[in-house]
A and B are shown apart, each in its own frame.
Chain A
Amino acid sequence: MAATLDQPMNVNMEVIQGENYQASYDAENATVRLTGSLRLSSPTEYQPIVDLLNAVAAAEPPTIVLDLRQLEFLNSSGISMLSKFAIAMRKRETSNIVVRGSSSIPWQGKSLKNLQRLMPNLTLELN
């Protein structure tokens, strides 16, 4: 179930392909996209995605977009990962964060608002 880096760092598109999910970074649009069903078992298993998020943060684009519109499922370890990222970005004060979600995926309507409470400047778009 281990995630693998399909491409080396510092290319325009980076993809982590898991069994039921994909995490990708589109550098041109400063967009991190998570899709599928993410229910990894520990912080260690989430580390490749955390590293990806940290690399994006380190590049300090004016705005970072988290596109979750096709993320059907996220367990609490995954919620923890996104929450930590929101707190870290609040402290860094280097980039704005836009989270794009889908109102037709029920967990997103329930849980994504918590990111805004952790980082009040974060923009949450549920379509």
Chain B
Amino acid sequence: MAQIFGDFRENLPTDHEFLILGFSPSSIPIQQRWRNNGLSADFVADYLATFFSASETDSQAQARQAEIKSAVSYIANELLENAMKFNDETVRYSIRFGMHLINDAEHTIVLVATNSISLETFTRFKAYVQEFLASDPDELYMRQLELTAESIEAGSAGLGLLTMRTDYEAKLGWKFDAVENEPTAIAVTTMVQLPV
């Protein structure tokens, strides 16, 4: 039974532009794959930007296009980094990344990443998601950075997700679901909605 948290759209409209990329995490070690994240994120951003083309004389439209491209590149890169970093490599389950351009009541860019995680990671991450959603965005952002500054070893866990919300005004949601034939893993889908 799937568990949903935050702003998560289960059924995206059937008629819209989308692009799905798949990565088999077992085929290449993560360090070699890392540069792929940047390439994929930039590719998705460049591709999407063509739907917001701006004439050379319209500087306002050009600035908007550059802003959308930069936002998509940053968010896609963070989603891919997280998916690669936390993926459970003992499970045969491809990492999937999707970009959707939804034109209904308002234009929304939807970026989605799905990967498998271990049960241990699931417990930790679910607690983080609940804290994330229950906290004031700016307060949590500052609190987490002050905490990270205290320890030399602590990484930037969650900072990517926090910046999407505070700096890009994106809406975030998660779905946790079972992985078929893999009782020790959970499939996590992170969805980021960016109004444009």
Whether B145 pairs with A83 at a CB distance below 8 angstroms is yes
Query: Is A39's CB under 8 angstroms from B145's CB?
Result: no
Query: B37 and A114: CB pair below 8 A?
Result: no
A94 contacts across to B, CB distance below 8 A: none
Closest CB in chain B relative to A1 CB, distance in Å = 7
**Distance to closest chain B CB from A8 (angstroms):** 24
Q: In the complex, what distance in Å separates the CA atom of A41 from the CA atom of B168? A: 22
B132 to chain A, nearest CB (A): 14
Indicate if the CB atoms of A43 and B70 lie closer than 8 Å.
Answer: no
Whether A39 and B71, one on each chain, are in contact in the complex, defined by CB atoms closer than 8 angstroms, is: no
- Whether A7 is near chain B, meaning CB under 8 Å from some CB there, is no
Interface residue tally on B, bucketed by range = 20 to 34
With A39-B37, A111-B167 already in contact, the answer to whether A76 and B148 are too (CB < 8 A) is no
**For residue B74, which residues in chain A have a CB less than 8 angstroms away from its CB?**
73, 75, 107
B-side contacts of A110, CB under 8 Å:
71, 167-168
CA distance A105 to B73 in the complex (A): 12
Taking CB atoms and an 8 Å cut-off, the chain B residues in 7-36 that contact chain A are 30-31, 34-35
Majority secondary structure of chain A interface residues (helix, strand, loop or mixed): helix
Chain B residue numbers with a CB within 8 Å of A88 are 149
Judge whether B196 is part of the interface by a CB distance below 8 angstroms: no
Closest partner residue, chain A, to B160 (CB atom): A76
A77: Cβ under 8 A from any B Cβ:
yes
B146 contact set on A, CB distance < 8 A: 87, 118
| Residues B152-170 near A (CB distance < 8 A) | 153-156, 159-160, 163, 166-168
Assuming the contacts A1-B34, A41-B81, A110-B168, asked whether A117 and B142 have C-beta atoms less than 8 A apart, the reply is yes
Partner of A75, one of B67, B81, B154: B81
On whether the beta carbons of B37 and A76 are closer than 8 Å, the reply is no
Sample of 6 A–B contacts (CB below 8 Å): A1-B35, A37-B38, A79-B159, A84-B149, A111-B163, A117-B142
- A43-B153, A75-B78, A76-B156 are known contacts; what are 19 more A-B pairs with Cβ within 8 Å? A39-B77, A41-B30, A43-B154, A43-B155, A75-B160, A76-B160, A76-B163, A77-B155, A77-B156, A79-B163, A84-B148, A87-B145, A87-B149, A104-B66, A106-B70, A107-B74, A111-B163, A111-B167, A118-B146
